[in-house]
């Protein structure tokens, strides 16, 4: 075989392998680890809720799919069917809160209602409450 054919074959092989590796990497990409991620916004639970209540469209455009670091007092702690931990942070509005859902690995025993908590999560939007997903505590006490 001529040298240039070998070079081309090698090149094609190299590109194919890189493409497969890149595809596998993307396919298996994990969610961002919130305990290490840098937050896009740092807010209080009351402040975050107020922005959504004042102008949901504006707040949605600002926060959805961004990493938000929220500080507040733990209102309730729930674990549902598949051991999914959900913590609500109290706000000045008694009816609404900031609801934070954790990945399955989170340990509920480290949290107590009434404690002050700062956590990071991805904002999903607003129903009756502001919803955060994939949360991790920043300074659980």
d(CA 102, CA 89): 13
When the beta carbons of 32 and 118 are compared against another protein, the nearer one is: 32
Residue from 31, 66, 112, 116 binding another protein (CB under 8 A): 31
The 101-140 contact track toward another protein, x by CB under 8 A, reads x----------------------xx-xxx-x-xx------
| Residue 75 engages another protein in binding (rule: CB under 8 A) | no
Distances in whole angstroms, Cα of residue 20 to Cα of each of 9, 27, 92? 17, 10, 52
Cα 52 versus chain centre, distance: 18
Binding part of the chain for another protein, among 5-13, 43-51, 81-89, 106-114 by CB under 8 A, reads 81-89
60 phi, psi to nearest 5 deg: -60, -45
Distances in whole angstroms, Cα of residue 17 to Cα of each of 13, 14, 77, 105? 6, 5, 47, 34
Q: Which residues bind another protein (CB under 8 A)?
A: 26-32, 60, 64-65, 78, 80-82, 84, 86, 88, 99, 101, 124-125, 127-129, 131, 133-134
């Amino acid at each position: 075989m001529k040298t240039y054919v070998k070079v081309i074959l090698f090149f094609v092989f190299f590109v194919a392998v890189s493409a497969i590796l890149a595809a596998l990497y993307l396919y298996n990409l994990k969610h961002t680890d919130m305990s290490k991620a840098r937050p896009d916004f740092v807010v209080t639970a009351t402040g975050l809720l107020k922005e959504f209540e004042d102008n949901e469209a504006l707040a949605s455009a600002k926060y959805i799919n961004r990493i938000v670091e929220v500080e507040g007092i733990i209102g309730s702690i729930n674990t549902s069917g598949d051991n999914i931990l959900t913590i609500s942070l109290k706000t000045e509005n008694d009816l609404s809160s900031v609801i934070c859902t954790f990945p399955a690995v989170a340990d509920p025993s480290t949290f107590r209602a009434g404690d002050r908590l700062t956590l990071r999560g991805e904002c999903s939007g607003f129903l009756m409450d502001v919803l955060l997903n994939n949360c991790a505590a920043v300074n659980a006490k």
